[in-house]
Amino acid sequence: MIIQSYMLPPKEQFHITENYIASPPALTIFDETGAVWCLGTDMQPGPHGEYAFSVLRNGAPTGAVASRIERRNGKIRVFTVNGWRQWTGRSFA
Amino acid sequence: MARVYSLAGANLTLANQAVTLAFINVGTTTSLEFLRMWASQSSSNNTAQQRVQISTQVSAFPTLTSQTPAKNWTLDPASQIVGGAAGAAGTSGVNASAEGAGAKSIIYPDAFSIVNGWLWVPTPPETLTLNASATSGIGLHFPAAPGSLGNWNGGISFRETA
């Protein structure tokens, strides 16, 4: 998997992404810890016929494969073939 | 997925005008299926809206900084597309300094908040394809200059097909 610069935490800025922002169409999502979340480049079959990709946190795979990442009520959640899964701080459940 | 390549421009300083972030002109032997495009910046924490377009261009192409697509998978052969500054057939580049006189056809216009960036990932039936010998290029284009010109990233991922 190729790692682009946007997948890694930036040096120049720090902000927390607003609630209800989803990727795509947003490229990245920043949480309260400063972690940057995005979709990787390894295309796999996803929910509802969409493409799905590895979910990256600071450029590293989390183990989840999803077509969408969303920040809602301060939580990161992803849309997988098994439905929505929420980040617990260590993994998606 | 094999034979997928990414043309990426990182930390670009854009000209203060409408600008093409990334541009690929299809060659004569291999068709290209476009799977992903993205744009983001890392210089401002202040939200602002930025228009973006996926467009094709014919005849006279942008003047670019030459950039060769990178392999997404290390075992793949090198891309049939090579870096080029003139936007000619079979070449690619980033961060246009001039747009060229060729007509642009807008395929997908959109807008985004610069603090969130922009990612286009079509569902499979919606992918865009440029057939070999199409004498046409595809660009990721900002039709108006962003308020902050520095530290932009943008790119295009594509698959080479027979």
The tens digit of pLDDT for each residue in B85-135 reads 999 999 999 999 999 999 999 999 999 999 999 999 998 889 999 999 999
Q: How many domains does chain B have?
A: 1
Does the distance separating the beta carbons of B35 and A43 come in below 8 Å? yes
Q: Is A10 on the interface with B (CB under 8 A)?
A: yes
SS3 string, chain A, reads CCCCHHHCCCCCCCCCCCCCEEECCCCCEECCCCCEEEECCCCEECHHHCEEEEEEECCEEEEEEECEEEEECCEEEEEECCEEEEECCCCEC
Distance from CA of A24 to the nearest CA of B (A): 5
Q: Is B151 on the interface with A (CB under 8 A)?
A: yes
Does the distance separating the beta carbons of A41 and B36 come in below 8 Å? yes
Q: What pTM value is reported for the model?
A: 0.90
Does the distance separating the beta carbons of B45 and A15 come in below 8 Å? yes
Does the distance separating the beta carbons of B42 and A11 come in below 8 Å? yes
Averages of pLDDT over runs of 10 residues in chain A (93 residues) are 82 80 95 93 86 94 96 94 94 93
Structural domain including B111 reads: 4-161
ipTM above 0.90, yes or no: no
Domain ranges (residues) in chain A: 5-83
